Amino acid sequence: MKQQPRALPCQAPHWKYDLPGPNEQATEHHYRKHLNPAPNIIDTKYLELARSTFMIRGIGFFVGIVALIAILMMLVFLAFMAFTPDMGTDAIALLIALCIIIATCWFFIPIIRLDIELPRDEPIRFNRLRRKVYFYQFKYDRIFFLSKKKWVVKPEVHAWDDLKAEACRVYAPGHGGLIENIVIAAHKPGTNEVIARYFFAHDIHNGEHYWAIARLFMQQGPDALPEFEKCPRDWNSDAEVGFPRRLAPKVKWPPDMDLESRTAPTSEEIQ
């Protein structure tokens, strides 16, 4: 029996406002030609937009490795203290040090795994003929940071009419100051119940433009979009991505979903 998705709050954390709905009229004044990155693919059937939940790749991996090396050195030192009677080992100090080691592992190992296992791109495909949106979604769990089953690509699909974009903003001293992003909320068909949220863009203004591009494509088709100044990027090509992303898995849609997301519905499907 398929488990029903858990209902989420009506508004995302740190919600500020909703962007125009999927079927509200979009105009060319609502987007920019020099968006970077430009859409991956634009054709008569679908639009693919690039997406990355990590703004900078590589830093987490190298910082995490340095932290784990420091932990290893600390473990060697603790073992030396524990088996050297002359050191006058304090059990409480050893316990505190062990707790610090466990906490450091819990914090840095997920960061290292995310940097290595997060796909090079996490694209979203908007199929205007099927009126569906396909999310190349990477699932992970910071608590079960050694699990294989909980760290996996799990693409998901929703009807275009059931989506809503939300702008979120929070000031977080010590975490880079102002943090803002756009998320896409998926509603249970025919209701206002939110069943899933997906990261869309780090910057609110860029996110608004990407959302306007998606709306314009879904409403009017590819001819309504401009010629973008930036060239599309092949994220699976080592020549077009930086070194940290070359270590990451390439984008590989499930065959059935890949075909469905790139094609028009057949006559049997329409019936």
Residue 9: per-residue pLDDT: 81
Q: Where are the domains of the chain?
A: 15-52+121-232, 60-117
3-state secondary structure (DSSP) of residue 263 = coil
> Do you know the residue count of the chain?
271
Q: Has this prediction a pTM greater than 0.85?
A: yes
Residue 85: per-residue pLDDT: 63
Residue 217: per-residue pLDDT: 95
| All residues at 6 or more sequence positions from 173 whose CB lies less than 8 Å from its CB, including other chains | none
Residue 210: per-residue pLDDT: 94
CA-wise closest residue to 208 among 165, 271, 251 = 165
Is it true that the peptide bond before 37 is cis, omega within 30 degrees of 0? yes
Paired residues of 168 in beta bridges:
15, 181
In the structure encoding, which two tokens stand for residue 256, read together?
A: 């059935």
Residue 163: per-residue pLDDT: 97
Residue 70: per-residue pLDDT: 85
In the structure encoding, which two tokens stand for residue 231, read together?
A: 């060239």
Residue 173: per-residue pLDDT: 64
* Averaged pLDDT in 10-residue chunks for the chain of 271 residues: 67 91 78 82 97 85 85 77 63 76 85 91 97 96 88 96 94 70 94 94 91 94 90 93 88 97 87 65
In the structure encoding, which two tokens stand for residue 112, read together?
A: 């290292």
